[in-house]
Amino acid sequence: GAVVSQHPSRVICKSGTSVKIECRSLDFQATTMFWYRQFPKQSLMLMATSNEGSKATYEQGVEKDKFLINHASLTLSTLTVTSAHPEDSSFYICSARDQGGSNQPQHFGDGTRLSIL
Amino acid sequence: DAKTTQPPSMDCAEGRAANLPCNHSTISGNEYVYWYRQIHSQGPQYIIHGLKNNETNEMASLIITEDRKSSTLILPHATLRDTAVYYCIVRVATGTASKLTFGTGTRLQVTL
């Protein structure tokens, strides 16, 4: 089945550091990838939709200058949390959909647990 | 996208069938029903999806009512590893902007 790989799985860093998270579709091409955030005991919240070769579309309330998204190829999207602070600590999860069909399911990575000290 | 309503939690004995209901009374004709589950500290796992016909795969069966206003996910023989939060989501299939919006899901606890 379709596999989405996310790296790193866990990051612990100091406040003010920028952190980059990679999301790769391993066996399919993804025109569109999605970035979610999940706080403890809450559901997944969509942050942004990443479009290959164009600017990402951010959900309301998500700062585009804080969460930089790059989708340079059909198999790779990156999320950079700039100048991270403790309130950015969360579980970040990426998702990708095979561009082969419009009703193809989205597949998810295993997430990145970000802890800002 | 249409909203869905799911019970917050359910219990199921190991080896028995787990039937997870979902109401989506405002679903549109072009919206599919998707089911995902999330095991603790992992990313969501795709289970199954359908438009109007019942669907079955190696993981589960999806029963959609004729009026499409509700559906049931069936895990035929639940195991302890099926303990997870199950999400029922409806989504427009067309267009690159179609996206999955997660609700609160049903927390399924499978017990011995």
CB contact under 8 A, B46 and A34: no
Residue whose C-alpha is closest to residue A114's, from A5, A8, A4: A8
In whole angstroms, give the CA distance from residue A29 to residue A46: 21
Average pLDDT over residues A1-26: 93
Average pLDDT over residues B61-76: 97
Say if residue A69's pLDDT is above 80: yes
CA dihedral B22, A35, A1, B72 (to 10 degrees): 0
Average pLDDT over residues A78-100: 93
pLDDT of residue B86: 98
Average pLDDT, chain B: 92
Which residues in A lie closer than 8 A to residue B36 (C-beta atoms)? 108
Q: Per CB distance under 8 Å, which residues of B are interface residues toward A?
A: 32, 34, 36, 38, 41-46, 49, 51, 87, 93-105
Q: Cβ distance A46 to A34 under 8 Å?
A: yes
- Look at A80 and B93; give whichever has higher pLDDT: A80
pLDDT for A1-11, tens place per residue? Answer: 669 999 999 99
Which residues in A lie closer than 8 A to residue B42 (C-beta atoms)? 110-111
E strands present in chain B: 9-13, 18-23, 31-38, 45-50, 55-56, 61-64, 70-75, 84-92, 106-111
Q: What φ, ψ does residue A112 adopt, rounded to 5°?
A: -125, 120
Q: Per CB distance under 8 Å, which residues of A are interface residues toward B?
A: 4, 6, 31-32, 34, 36, 43-46, 49, 51, 57, 91, 93, 95, 102-103, 105-111, 113
- Look at A94 and B95; give whichever has higher pLDDT: A94
Within its chain, how far is the Cα of A8 from the centroid?
Answer: 11
In whole angstroms, give the CA distance from residue B3 to residue B84: 21
Q: Which of A51-55, A105-109, A112-116 has the highest mean pLDDT?
A: A112-116
Nearest to A46 among B41, B42, B99 (CB): B99
* Residue located via tokens 């790193």: A8
Q: CB-based contacts of A72: which residues, under 8 Å, 6+ apart?
A: A52, A53
Which residues in B lie closer than 8 A to residue A106 (C-beta atoms)? 46, 100
pLDDT of residue B57: 96
